[in-house]
Amino acid sequence: MKSKIKTYNSEDFRNEYFNASPELEKLFKKSIEDFFCLQIEDVSERVLKPILPSREESHTLIFVTEGSYKTKIGFQEYTVKPDQIVVIQAGAVFSTEEISTGVKGFACHFHPDILIGKFGNQALLTDFEFLNVGNHPIIDLKKEAKPAIRNLFERLCSEFKSYERPNPTIVHAYLYTLLAELKGLFGNNDLVNQGASFQITSRFRKLAYQNVKNNLKVADFAEMMHISPNHLNKSVKVITSKSASEVNDDIKLIEIKFLLYQSGLSISEISYEMGYSDASYFTRFFKKRTNVAPSKFRELIEKS
């Protein structure tokens, strides 16, 4: 019987696969939750190999500047070469047999919630297709783009290693700029997956974002797309390993978190804004998927 693929949060993954050191522990303890940016050579010797097939709740960008880095995402093995970035999307199944001692570069790891900051732009966030499971994970850096991309990784790394706790505003600004730069490079990538399941999933995601405040069900989206709910679910599952309903819930949660962070609306007003007539049901929906009530989430944001 196949062993179940485990989904990790950032702390659990580090506990499982990092050979801890006082230096690393000090860095992670003072950091923003679910964020780090380090040089690969700083951590490669501390990672316990092999990394078995796993999923993480966060995204990881690995930028190779020297040597090569091998990883398996889904059923495909990739060799990442200098001036390439591999995107290990949150929720994607990945594994790594070994890390070459000659590889140099940067590893930037962040939870999607980090993008919901004071500068967050939901319209732009939905355009970061390369962060969606199922997209081709390799981004080639053009010669003219490399200095700016490297500088952004270096600034994020410097902020993470700073003596004080990293400034969330600075991290958010640099990270958003990095993703915006990568968006343009990814858009010119001819290797983007164009399979039928990918196309259906991509169209479903766009419709879900467009109708995020209409509280639609999977059957509603299937009708809009002129396919059966079963076909929609199967296609989305192939690409994301989640049901269409789960993906729709994820998209709703992003919008709710934006409203909690960036608006002065009350919980009841946000509930109404999101198409829920019953504020208590809205609160149960949010708490079931985040383990905290909307009011508590807002409180945690304000303290960060």
Domain ranges of the chain: 6-187, 196-303
Report whether pLDDT(232) > 90. Answer: yes
In whole angstroms, give the CA distance from residue 275 to residue 262: 18
Report pLDDT for 274: 94
Q: Which CATH class for the 6-187 domain?
A: mainly beta
- Percent of all residues in the chain with a pLDDT value above 90, rounded to a whole number: 49
Q: On the CB side of 249, how many CA atoms lie within 13 Å of its CA?
A: 13
Across the range 64-90, mean pLDDT stands at 93
Torsion of CA 291, 293, 295, 301, to 10 degrees: 10
The span from the CA of 189 to the CA of 138, in Å, is: 9
pLDDT band at 302 (very low <50, low <70, confident <90, very high): low
Report the distance separating Cα 197 and Cα 200, nearest Å. 5
Q: Residue 190 has what pLDDT?
A: 46
User: Is the Cα torsion angle 229, 234, 237, 243 positive or negative in sign?
Assistant: positive
Among residues 6, 8, 7, 3, which one has the least CA distance to residue 34? 8
Looking at CATH, the fold of the domain delimited by 196-303 is given as Arc Repressor Mutant, subunit A (1.10.10)
Confidence category of residue 272, pLDDT binned at 50, 70, 90 = very high
Write down the pTM of the prediction. 0.81
Question: Do the first three CATH levels of 6-187 and 196-303 match, i.e. the same topology?
Answer: no
> What is the reported pLDDT for 2?
44
Q: Tell whether the model's pLDDT for residue 191 goes beyond 50.
A: no
Per residue in 147-173, pLDDT (tens digit) is: 999 999 999 999 998 867 788 888 989
